[in-house]
Amino acid sequence: MALDEQLARIDGYRELAGFQTEPAQMRAAGPGKVGELRLGFSLRDGRSVLDDLYRVAPLLVQQALYWDEAMPELPIVSVISVGGGILQGDRYRIAIDVGEGACAHVTSQGFNRIHRMDANYASQYQEVRAAAGSYLEYLPNFTLPYRDSRFVSETEIVADETATVLYADMIMSGRKHHHASERFGFDLLSTRVRARRPDGRLIFAEKLLVEKGNDTIELPAVARGYDAFANVLCLTPPDTAARIDERIGINAGPDQPRAMSGVSKLPGGAGLMFRAIGVESYDVRAEVKRFWTAVREEACGRTLAKDFLWQ
């Protein structure tokens, strides 16, 4: 689907009906407001390489690095936003394609900051493709919505039945240490994920929608007392999913006051969904890393270094 068609479809979301005003500074999706990034990985001489790279500012990738001693064939790519955050009217598109038998780790330079808005909204469309026998870790940093911001994200995952895709969507309640009004002070946060097989079969679809004024956010079973949330999807063959599931289980109770987590099965034996909620970002990171470690070890037979990225 062409970029303009994707943007038009997202623009028609029900929750965006009240946020269609054009910014006074520069029109939405105007020149300099549309960032694109395309990453393609393939297997060459026993090592995966970044062989396709297309970038349009403010999104930037410089090169793939190989510094994971436990998995030296793994290219590690960090997505950089040279704009310092997402502004009203911004439209981003990220496409990641991992070829047959290849592997990759894609992350982001820092928090995805959604700045305060007085008009329109910001959106991001992501497309992830994983071919037969491939392995992808797509673990962007936390999304941090500022007060009065509006952000919509849509992610399409197309994964072969023999591939493993680890995808994380991590969200903060706002800049709670900046001012009390920042906690859940954003106008809108909408994230949608759909997963399909290469032949078009739908595996599952889910949507997280948080709108200002919804009092259910402070219910004990939702987010009372917690400000960091992670939704981690692992599409992987059933035997691998079963081994991961045996290792993770539920982490909750009075002896776990700072974070809780649990794992459930995706439809059709497609893999697992891991969710964690915690007081601070580092509490949730620790839970995500525990799940990530199990996925890496069971899917690749490789360990995850203790000092890998998140400490």
Per-residue model confidence as pLDDT tens digits over 275-293? 999 999 999 999 999 999 9
The better pLDDT of the pair 246, 311 is held by: 246
Contact 166, 139 (CB under 8 A): yes
Angle at 94 (CA atoms; ends 105, 71), nearest 5 degrees = 5
Q: Is residue 308 scored above 70 in pLDDT?
A: no
pLDDT tens digits for range 155-184 = 999 999 999 999 999 999 989 888 878 888
Burial class (CB in 10 A: 0-12, 13-18, 19+), 265: middle
58-62, 150-154, 235-239, 298-302: which has the minimum mean pLDDT?
A: 58-62
pTM, to two decimals: 0.94
Domain extent listing, the chain: 3-300
| pLDDT number for residue 311 | 44
**What is the percent of the chain where pLDDT is above 90?**
72
pLDDT tens digits for range 22-73 = 988 888 878 778 999 999 999 998 899 999 999 998 899 989 999 898 899 9
pLDDT tens digits for range 229-278 = 999 999 999 999 999 999 998 888 777 679 999 999 999 999 999 999 99
Q: In the numeric block, which tokens belong to residue 121?
A: 């909204």
| pLDDT number for residue 220 | 67
Between CA 80 and CA 295 the distance in angstroms is: 26
pLDDT tens digits for range 209-228 = 999 888 777 776 677 789 99
Coil, helix or strand for 40? strand
